[in-house]
Structure 1
């Protein structure tokens, strides 16, 4: 009978331990807009200065508190800051936990929610604008570029690219090899 009572006590202790969970220590602090304090740090981490981040929150008309489908609670300023930090430099989500005080799932969800919101509001601007880029305006652009000394008379824009290194892919290797023992992703746009 003693063995039965001790096993039930052991089971009860196990249940209590599972329900209580292990203490993880102090949770990281929430995002504080006053930290980091210098503009150069803001420029490095977010590609904007601190004062410049306030303007897009207003211009984009982001809701405050900012809604996510997973119901994370965050301000519009914090949501945009998370998104800008993710776009400024590809970092591990775990590296951003200390800065924003959210776990990796929340950071990913908030960043994706901002991206979806901005796409829903502005996806029309990503399409070719037939109303503004008429034959007359394209001719005016080409004339202005040629007048500045370009040899072509039909140039209406310039290609700009960003190149990011990557590991050697298993498939379609030749598309990413640059000929100098390096594999790269190339992102291009026209100005």
Structure 2
């Protein structure tokens, strides 16, 4: 009698590399870096935030909460030059999905 052997595929959970979450605020950027990254000086970014009425905490459509300063910096970074979300990911340490939600 022949016994048929079944191969059982074991599904292992996909392991992703952890994303480093960098809390990048305006204070963490040097004056020259602000100009190169965002095309604004630090003082102008603060004035822009007040003029636009960006709150301290931004609530996104998926109900996640983010810092208002960081959301504005991500927005300005995306507008300042053509870049992909992977480029912005390296600067701010966030996943592409989070970055696209903040940008919209």
TM-score (norm 1): 0.46
Aligned length: 100
1:25 corresponds to 2:35: no
- Aligned 8 A contact 1:72 1:110 in 2: no
Structural RMSD (CA): 2.2
Aligned-pair distance for 1:42? 0.7
Structure 1 portions without partners, runs of 5+ = 113-191
Task: Write the deviation string for residues 82-117 of structure 1: whole angstroms up to 9, x where unpaired.
Answer: 1111111111111000211221122122111xxxxx
Higher relative contact order, structure no. (Cα contacts within 8 Å, ≥ 6 residues apart): 2
SS in 2 for 1:74: strand
Aligned-pair distance for 1:55? 2.2
1:56 corresponds to 2:48: yes
User: Matches of 2:68 and 2:53 in 1, distance apart?
Assistant: 9
1:111 corresponds to 2:90: no
- Aligned 8 A contact 1:28 1:98 in 2: no
Name which of 35, 40, 44 aligns with 2:36. Answer: 44
Aligned-pair distance for 1:35? 3.1
Aligned-pair distance for 1:65? 1.4
TM-score (norm 2): 0.77
The answer for the alignment partner of 1:123 in structure 2 is: none
The answer for the alignment partner of 2:28 in structure 1 is: 35
- Aligned 8 A contact 1:39 1:50 in 2: yes
